[in-house]
A and B are shown apart, each in its own frame.
Chain A
């Protein structure tokens, strides 16, 4: 069975203006009914397969983002939703902002938009599901284990991060 038949997601609101969060909530509400894809919005990192992050990372929430990510069991994918989560967006130059989600944890799919639209979000989740399946296959063969946040920190501090560096990274242009 493919793991993508039952993806449970976790939404975390970083340093955002809340615009993206409202769109994320709209996506998980009855109008778009994501439960028809088997998706459940779980509030619990230990049960989640998809980490949906909106807003940038700041000096206060960076540990929270790391902890949530590390608590999720493999296989897992991370979606950066909205420009703020992709690279810090409009808040990029603020004194407390470190940047997008990928400054602290590896991101698999970037969903652009300010605010990100539900259609783009669903599109991003569908892309994430493919990656989730690939990771699961690799994990079964014992070839894959995702980086922990501290390993990731060592990696991006060691060598300057290049575009398309993390495995399976994909950009949507929804």
Chain B
């Protein structure tokens, strides 16, 4: 590990929650304005998380707490590998681990809504995992390495070679960010039919940890989206940042426009996009190479 990657990991660990909270604060205000409301304060997500940590530490069983902590740990860990410039496959596997722990936590409480949430989360994983793995393969075909450190040193921004992959990745980003129409397992809004589903039985600090993990995860996913725009040219960082901001705005828009879909449509649509956008791009990339 070079000093450069060490610094970026430390920055990631410290700044991620701050940046993700700000993004989420802006998102909530933008959403409110789209609905003709004033919306909460910019720092509202901070207040929410701080509040959760100051609440009473109740949990249905002991194992639930441990599983949520493991979820948080692996979410942070996968991001740390990414920002250290290491293998992107390792990042994705660690991220899957994190998801699995959250699902186990939901199953452990033996409650109806949590269970439905956990089942739906599994379906969501089935929907997005193929595309995330395909994206990693795409990076490998374009630069000949799975290492994030090498990917950011490509001569041209990879979006040029991988537009299909990017499209597919944006699609699954909506699932990952738990935005409507794909917020089946749990949602940022409470008024869904399974209440909070997956996270429904986490209370106080345990819920705080799952929220914190989500913030780290969001930054990781945005980082991966940024990878498509970064090249050896330093200016490309600005392009990547702009792309991420536009992406976030589009997700707010999509969130407000589309109602929640059923799980069949989730699977069908995400696999179709994976196959046609990702798959076609993969074929072209391997032929041209």
Q: Which residues of A contact B (CB under 8 A)?
A: 1, 3, 5-6, 30, 33, 35-38, 40-44, 46-47, 49, 71, 73-75, 136, 139-140
Shortest Cβ gap from A111 to chain B (Å): 22
- For B202, what are the chain A residues with a Cβ–Cβ distance below 8 Å? 46
- For A3, what are the chain B residues with a Cβ–Cβ distance below 8 Å? 51, 54
Known A38-B41, A38-B48; contact A30-B36, beta-carbon cutoff 8 A: yes
Which of B66-74, B166-174, B188-196, B252-260 is the interface stretch? B188-196
Report the bound CA distance from A36 to B42 in whole Å. Answer: 10
Does the CB pair A1–B51 fall under 8 Å? yes
Counting chain B CB atoms within 10 Å of each CB, the highest count among A5, A46, A136 belongs to A46
**Chain B interface size range:** 20 to 34
Shortest Cβ gap from A78 to chain B (Å): 16
**Which of chain A's residues has its CB closest to B113's CB?**
A44
Report the bound CA distance from A109 to B47 in whole Å. Answer: 24
Contact with A along B41-64 (1 / 0, CB 8 A): 100100110110011111000000
Does the CB pair B196–A44 fall under 8 Å? yes
The 17 listed contacts between A and B (C-beta, < 8 Å) are: A6-B51, A33-B38, A35-B28, A36-B37, A36-B41, A38-B40, A41-B191, A43-B191, A44-B190, A47-B190, A47-B207, A71-B203, A73-B55, A73-B58, A73-B203, A136-B54, A139-B56
Contact partner of B55 (CB less than 8 A), chosen from A30, A40, A75, is: A75
Report the bound CA distance from A36 to B200 in whole Å. Answer: 24
Does the CB pair A30–B54 fall under 8 Å? no
Does the CB pair B191–A73 fall under 8 Å? no
Shortest Cβ gap from A3 to chain B (Å): 5
- For A47, what are the chain B residues with a Cβ–Cβ distance below 8 Å? 190, 196, 203, 207
- For A71, what are the chain B residues with a Cβ–Cβ distance below 8 Å? 203
Contact partner of B203 (CB less than 8 A), chosen from A37, A38, A46, A140, is: A46
Report the bound CA distance from A41 to B195 in whole Å. Answer: 11
Does the CB pair B195–A5 fall under 8 Å? no
Task: Check B204 for interface membership: any CB of A closer than 8 A.
Answer: yes
**Which of chain B's residues has its CB closest to A32's CB?**
B37
Shortest Cβ gap from A72 to chain B (Å): 8
Known: A6-B51, A33-B37, A46-B201. 9 other contacts (CB 8 A): A1-B54, A33-B32, A41-B190, A42-B190, A44-B190, A44-B196, A47-B203, A49-B55, A73-B58
Report the bound CA distance from A49 to B51 in whole Å. Answer: 10
- For B37, what are the chain A residues with a Cβ–Cβ distance below 8 Å? 30, 33, 35-36
Does the CB pair B55–A74 fall under 8 Å? yes
Counting chain A CB atoms within 10 Å of each CB, the highest count among B41, B190, B195, B200 belongs to B190
- For A33, what are the chain B residues with a Cβ–Cβ distance below 8 Å? 32, 37-39
- For B56, what are the chain A residues with a Cβ–Cβ distance below 8 Å? 73-75, 139
Does the CB pair B40–A73 fall under 8 Å? no
Nearest 5 CB-CB pairings of A with B: A74-B56, A46-B203, A42-B190, A73-B56, A5-B47
- For B204, what are the chain A residues with a Cβ–Cβ distance below 8 Å? 73
Report the bound CA distance from A70 to B40 in whole Å. Answer: 29
Task: Check B2 for interface membership: any CB of A closer than 8 A.
Answer: no
Report the bound CA distance from A42 to B196 in whole Å. Answer: 8
Shortest Cβ gap from A22 to chain B (Å): 16
Report the bound CA distance from A140 to B44 in whole Å. Answer: 22
Does the CB pair B58–A38 fall under 8 Å? no
